A and B are shown apart, each in its own frame.
Chain A
Amino acid sequence: MSHAAQIVDDRAASTGSLSGAEEPAGHPHGVRATARIRATYNGRATTLPQLRSDGPFHLRRMRTDGNSAKVGIIGAMSAPLGGDRLTIDVTVEDRALLEVTTAAATLALRGPTAAPATYDVRLTAGEHAGLRWLPRPLISAADSNLRQTCHVELASTARLLLREEQILGRANEDPGHLVSRLLVHRAGRPLLDQQTAYGNPEPGWDGPARLHGHRAVGQLLLVDPKMGTRHDPVLLRTGSRDGCAVLTPLADGRALLATAVAPTSSVLRELLDEALAHALRG
């Protein structure tokens, strides 16, 4: 098999199966951890009957004003490192409202082995439930190797605000190898399915059709069944060198996606914040 064929096949295999049915073997030095959050609605407010910290994920209940719940994820150890198998499983049951954040950026490092780490996020939201998944950026450090998936299952009336930011390399270093898939189903049908892959040995990853020198990419997804179905695309900055973004409706309607590329994490956040302001105004 050629070099290119090997890469394409590896990439497909690593983030292809999102069913969670088969547990990957992991590496003997790697950490295996699954953190779980379950939010339910008791008729007055959202409660958290399950809050299971595990491995590097320390979960902390946070104070909120209204009847929603908020959980902060605090890194209890450096992760993911090569060979780790990490999962976060979040379920928001019917009518419950939950926001999840992280206290610090997630830093993917090489660790004791060059084997890939996996980091799987599974988000499920029931009827009339609301989930805000707003972690800090994921940083792909030099020589790290991470396969990340984010698999979202939404009931037809569920609301979602999801932000993903990827920073490719710490200051002035090349990124590691980062393959990431975002798959969102609504009412069992695919709403959004995107896989990105950056860093060596991905073919053309920094070329003019992909990063073109940018080191920060991100997305913001807003799903709201009450949203009007008519949205014109919004272009945020039209050059490409200094960062740019678009806010566009997905095919299914009642869902908006902002896509941004930028030279730095701060410009990326500015673009996504601007896009969110547009989305909420619309």
Chain B
Amino acid sequence: MHLDPPATMPQRHTHSAGPLRADGSRRALRVGLGGPVGSGKTASVAALCRTLRDRWSIAVVTNDIYTREDAEYLLREAVLPPERITAVETGACPHTAIRDDISANLEAVEHLEETLHPLDLVLIESGGDNLTATFSKGLVDVQIFVIDVSSGDDIPRKGGPGITTADLLVVNKTDLAPHVGADLAAMAVDAERQRGDLPVVFTSLTSDDGIREVADWVTAHLSEWRVKAAV
């Protein structure tokens, strides 16, 4: 196949997280949600969808350890129509799929962008992993790290890339703090020491509108993203 050379060079956005789609239109903001198993990532995604779905066009990519468990939870909870939820298999290495080899996740995101155009927001939930898992900047624009009080109030002190560098740290299940003897004030101090000016939010998803602060943070980024892309 030796035809005329193509008029343009390979377009960068086909293999990185540039802000525009192939047709020049703005792509959706990509928000990663990572954190240890059981900290409430999937519940946070569900709550974000319920809070934001009336205002924005949203899709979700899950990276389950066992394929489709989280995706099926979201489907069961009916937070979004099924065509807006995609599961990516991770070959027993969830951190690889969001950090070292993001191609399957990019495929999934781009497929959603194509089929649901125009899309405002894609939430990418990592498979439950340890404290070192972070998202590649080639995959997400901002990332949220979700931990919970019941796994020990020393987690912020221990740090790790997720705790120290995520754009937002969510400390979930604050309603359990009295029962597990977790010191929320100490967690806040440790988190600030690890993160400097980066924000921390304490949530309890059992209360009405417990996700509000996180939803507001996402909305602020989304508004900023739209302004930036419109320029």
Q: Is there direct touching of A and B in the complex, by C-beta distance under 8 Å? A: no
